[in-house]
Structure 1
């Protein structure tokens, strides 16, 4: 019986995650989910992620209100993500209550803490995000990215560059794009120096990433360096509408 139950549960999880959520059949996913007697944190996380992907973050909070078990660090991270996406009064209340009650051992989990930072930055609560960031023993590049992006989102561009200059880890293409955006917004001597230096050091494989290249084009156009922007534009193999938009807007 136990073997059958586990087998059925895994099958249900697979159907919800790989079939119903991907085909946007939310009603049947919810119905199937409600048929599970002993719901695990993993099962809730699967549902929450599927709902967020389908732009139904409000339903995540509805489902969370019905939860009879304590969320683990993975479920908490997904809940923080839902609250960040919603960014309304209800989300702020639930997000901050969850954060206040978070077990101490989860605070050292990078995924959970990074999700909390992103959520707080979306709420405009920069001070609390900074407090969590400082308390983290081991910061990874995604954590730094959440902070830098948060500063940019809160129009604290100088702080974004201050923190960027403290990073001593390998940069991802997302970090390049975020810093290029910060430099474009500031558009002062410091921003021009950092932006151009960063662009010169950017690995070749990142140059084929449209988001990174589009951000670089936008930054260079803001700097008035049309020639360099055109050079990047010509080098992009598969140009999208945003690439063309960045060039047209810059010109």
Structure 2
């Protein structure tokens, strides 16, 4: 990428095509700030190919600089592009990431011919902004063929709410889902998570068993669901069958299962998992928080303190885990006084 940047800097007359290619390359290499730096140096007007990339970068970062740039681009956007769904869909996604649902709604309402991606951007934005009821309101107005993104997002909205309305919509959507999507892990993982949130473990197990190629997200959804439904022994049973690389969610879910049980089996599994955990996962405060919580529940204050001391950037969650653990130990010792 460095060579591409050097080559780009030598070009005197940069066309819109070249700029767009450069922005896209920087975005794909996770260098959003470089995109902003480059944009500040440019005098060209972004076209309908460049704007969606820039809106996507602003959405990805969503800090003060990104918000300022994104809003300015949107404000100065030529009227010609205000009928372009690709541009407007990315603008809606950006505004939702900024937490500006009101502006996103204004753009959504202005679009004459909405496509399924327009609805997806709005519904996903509502869910991300903790407005899942609005997400379901909008979903019920769709008169287009649904795609896998819609199924996933609506299942997520139903998972978050888990009320009577959400259960009704979620179950109906799942029941009427075409067979094409029943082999789509992305969709089925969110369906499993939803069913677990509904307390319908039996249906979640059925979907899990029907999946030919289970990924780590599938196992995570099941394990997390078992823990949430007070079935932590089943969570550990399933964990011991995994033959895939664990991710942060796996560690957190299994540590939580072990915390809830705190029996001989859980202590053995939890300690082994913590001992073998790669360094990459040891930089995640959420993982370490659940590990500290687990060790405190095991009565292993010394190990919990070691992990606590090893954390360079301690946040309120880490301090809370230690305080909560110490309170638990005090109360536990008082029972035997």
Report the counterpart of residue 59 of structure 2 in structure 1.
84
TM-score (normalizing by structure 1): 0.88
Q: 1:101 aligns with which of 66, 76, 79?
A: 76
Could you tell me how far 1:38 is from its partner in structure 2? 2.0
Distance 2:195 2:101 in 1: 29
Report the counterpart of residue 233 of structure 1 in structure 2.
208
Q: Does 1:73 align with 2:73?
A: no
Structure 2, unpaired ranges of 5+: 227-337
- SS of the residue corresponding to residue 246 of structure 1 reads helix
Distance 1:167 1:114 in 2: 16
Report the counterpart of residue 158 of structure 1 in structure 2.
133
Report the counterpart of residue 110 of structure 1 in structure 2.
85
Q: Deviations over 1:7-50 (max 9, x none)?
A: xxxxxxxxxxxxxxxxxxx1011112222222121211111111
**Rg larger in structure:** 2
- SS of the residue corresponding to residue 130 of structure 2 reads coil
Distance 1:42 1:227 in 2: 53
Could you tell me how far 1:163 is from its partner in structure 2? 0.3
Report the counterpart of residue 181 of structure 1 in structure 2.
156
Distance 1:37 1:202 in 2: 54
- SS of the residue corresponding to residue 171 of structure 1 reads coil
TM-score (normalizing by structure 2): 0.66
Report the counterpart of residue 7 of structure 1 in structure 2.
none
Report the counterpart of residue 144 of structure 1 in structure 2.
119
Could you tell me how far 1:236 is from its partner in structure 2? 1.1
Distance 1:131 1:179 in 2: 22
CA RMSD of aligned residues (A): 0.8
Structure 1, unpaired ranges of 5+: 1-25
Moved over 6 A (4+): none
Q: Does 1:64 align with 2:30?
A: no
Q: 1:250 aligns with which of 225, 231, 235?
A: 225
- SS of the residue corresponding to residue 21 of structure 2 reads helix
Q: Spell out the pairing of 1:202-241 with structure 2 (5 A cutoff).
A: 202-241=177-216
- SS of the residue corresponding to residue 73 of structure 1 reads coil
Could you tell me how far 1:68 is from its partner in structure 2? 2.0
* Greater alpha carbon shift after TM alignment, 109-118 vs 201-210: 201-210
Could you tell me how far 1:184 is from its partner in structure 2? 0.3
Distance 1:142 1:92 in 2: 22
Distance 1:197 1:186 in 2: 16
Report the counterpart of residue 47 of structure 1 in structure 2.
22
Could you tell me how far 1:126 is from its partner in structure 2? 0.5
* Greater alpha carbon shift after TM alignment, 180-189 vs 26-35: 26-35
Aligned length: 226
Q: 1:196 aligns with which of 171, 191, 198?
A: 171
Could you tell me how far 1:54 is from its partner in structure 2? 1.2
